[in-house]
Amino acid sequence: MAVEASITKLTTSDHASVVSMNLFVALLCACIIIGHLLEEYRWINESITALVIGLCTGIFILFTTGGKSSHLLVFSEDLFFIYLLPPIIFNAGFQVKKKHFFRNFMTIMLFGAVGTLISFGIISLGAIHFFPKLDIGSLKIGDYLAIGAIFSATDSVCTLQVLNQDETPLLYSLVFGEGVVNDATSVVLLKAIQNFDLSHIDLITGFHLIGNFFYLFTASTLLGVLAGLLSAFIIKTLYFGRHSTDREVALMILMAYLSYMLAELFNLSAILTVFFCGIVMSHYTWHNVTESSRVTTKHAFATLSFIAEIFIFLYVGMDALDIEKWRFARQSPGKSAGISSLLLALIMVGRAAFVFPLSFLANLPKKSQSEKIEIKQQVTIWWAGLMRGAVSMALAYNQFTRLGHTKLRENAIMITSTITVILFSTVVFGLMTKPLVRLLLPISKHKGIIASPPGTPKPFMQPLLEDGQESEGNDGTRNAHRPSSLRLLLSLPTRSVHHYWRKFDDAVMRPVFGGRGFVPFVPGSPLEQSVHQWQ
């Protein structure tokens, strides 16, 4: 009888899981359909749509379960970091326009790394000074520093959905690059904080913390580069496409995911690793595969990223109504509202403290006025980076819960405050970003920009626009049809860093790892026919 009872219980549990997954997949489909119908209203992006649908679903589940639960699945930071985040960050690196990313590299690193550290410091100091006065519980110094890292992570996904790459090219590129580096820096900061005993902070501990941060940053980047180069070498040497393009696609996906998991295994920043792996793969590996594999991988990575993003925001919307966490906040609603308001104020002050000074520093070496970040663009960058999203949510769960649950009052209050900040910043700041961009940066006619045909599909995240320069097509050819390219080329120094890198790349890297210009030999292809014709 005991065995039958356990089997019955297991069967019931499996059935409930299947029902939950069916409902969640149906909700994902609903988010995509409704997002498509609302696409013409650019103020409402897919992130906000998924959040609203998640909130409505959570309310419905609350009523049907008698107030016991509000979500279909139990959130785990492992689910986010291991399964949902990798395709998003990898696709960001894979789709990046490398030439323009590295042209603005110093400004992006200033905002993404140095700026995040400044924001981290201000938010942490504000939490240390104000939180004890609110009497929310016994938070330790490590918790205060973790709060600084959690709320320094911007939501670049939501921001880029309300920005337009044709209307604001420089703005779009800076916000995209800063967002990726910012997320990685925040995760590295939290890892560094959690790896040290901060009960007794002294000068030596501070230096160790800074050293560990730079070690994680450098080692994670190198691991991503090495993984990308290894995948390029293997595919170029063995050339799987002569037998099966499926093997090429599978190997690229698995090598990218392997780089992420290796970083997790070695306690590095997996975000940085998989981002730079994506950059290297798009520069070398992608050009070593057949044309069909190129089309497949480009759309496969974009699709996986799109689904993961919708999944995250849908779940955050449902989890926002979790009764267990709000039970503690209900006992002191004034404190919870005060903490959320204080965090929003610290986020705004912390971001302003680095956007404007660092923009001034970034403008100093630039002679051309068109390359400088104007004050209106600085205000827009400041505002667009105020949104907080899935990374902040996952980091908060990682610091203050165990498998999505907590029994400590102060931890529950911090989780509910994080949810409140995410919902408010995503909906309110997200809705106001597009009108602010149109107010400060009116749409201008961009000469020379050739729009895509109406039927041309666009990737979900297509960062770093050409900005009036020559583009690199999918086949590796350069399209120099823009009239401003020649003028821009004449205005730039001929012996730039990019010039020397291109010489080194052509002489050393491409002969070994392939890349643009490498044409795979496919039996039955037009290339083979032309070869036979000339024999």
Count, in order, helices (H) and strands (E) of the chain: 24, 2
Most confident of 134-143, 160-169, 465-474, 512-521: 134-143
CB 306 within 8 A of CB 31: no
DSSP calls for 46-96: HHHHHHHHHHHHHHHHHHHTTSS---SS---HHIIIIIIHHHHHHHHHHHS
CA 77 to chain CA centroid, Å, is 16
Asked if the model's pLDDT at residue 3 lies above 70, the reply is: no
Q: Residue 312: what pLDDT?
A: 82
Asked if the model's pLDDT at residue 33 lies above 60, the reply is: yes
Q: Tell me the average pLDDT of the chain.
A: 75
Listed in sequence order, the DSSP H helices in 332-483 are 333-363, 375-384, 390-400, 409-424, 430-440
217 burial (CB, 10 Å; 0-12 / 13-18 / 19+) is buried
Give, as one character, the DSSP assignment of residue 448. Answer: T
Question: Phi/psi of residue 402, each to 5°?
Answer: -125, 110
Give, as one character, the DSSP assignment of residue 405. Answer: B
Q: Residue 350: what pLDDT?
A: 94
Percentage of the chain with pLDDT > 70?
Answer: 72
Q: Encode pLDDT of 413-426 as tens digits.
A: 888 888 889 888 88
Nearest-angstrom CA–CA distance, 252 and 236:
12
Angle value at C-alpha 143, between 141 and 148, nearest 5 degrees: 100
Nearest-angstrom CA–CA distance, 94 and 409:
42
Asked if the model's pLDDT at residue 239 lies above 50, the reply is: yes
Distances (CA, A) of 488 to 104, 274, 463, 483: 15, 32, 21, 9
- Tokens 């900040």 belong to residue: 421
Q: Residue 253, Cβ neighbours under 10 Å: how many?
A: 16
Listed in sequence order, the DSSP H helices in 195-269 are 203-238, 245-265
Region 352-367 average pLDDT? 89
Which of the residue ranges 227-231, 327-331, 446-450 would you say has the lowest mean pLDDT? 446-450
Q: Residue 448: what pLDDT?
A: 35
User: What is the rounded (10 degree) CA torsion for 412, 418, 419, 425?
Assistant: 160
Nearest-angstrom CA–CA distance, 154 and 383:
11
Angle value at C-alpha 310, between 276 and 39, nearest 5 degrees: 105
Nearest-angstrom CA–CA distance, 525 and 530:
9
Q: Residue 458: what pLDDT?
A: 43
Q: Residue 529: what pLDDT?
A: 44
Q: Encode pLDDT of 281-332 as tens digits.
A: 998 998 888 888 888 888 999 899 888 888 888 887 777 776 666 766 666 6
Q: How far apart are the first and last CA of the chain?
A: 80
Strands 471-472 and 478-479: antiparallel
Nearest-angstrom CA–CA distance, 388 and 424:
9
Q: Residue 165: what pLDDT?
A: 60
Q: Encode pLDDT of 454-494 as tens digits.
A: 333 344 344 433 333 334 444 444 444 444 444 444 344 44
Bigger pLDDT: 90 or 3? 90
**Ramachandran sector of residue 286 (left: φ over 0; alpha: ψ -120 to 50; beta: rest):** alpha
8 burial (CB, 10 Å; 0-12 / 13-18 / 19+) is exposed
Region 350-367 average pLDDT? 89
CB 311 within 8 A of CB 28: yes
Nearest-angstrom CA–CA distance, 169 and 149:
29
471 three-class SS: strand
34 burial (CB, 10 Å; 0-12 / 13-18 / 19+) is middle
199 three-class SS: coil
3-state helix, strand, coil in the chain (%, to 5): 75, 0, 25
Strand partners, 479: 471
Nearest-angstrom CA–CA distance, 118 and 124:
10
CB 81 within 8 A of CB 394: yes
Distances (CA, A) of 368 to 36, 166, 365: 40, 21, 9
SS3 of 472-528? ECCCCCEECCCCHHHHHHHHCCCCCHHHHHHHHHHHHHHHHHCCCCCCCCCCCCHHH
DSSP calls for 165-178: TTT-HHHHHHHHHH
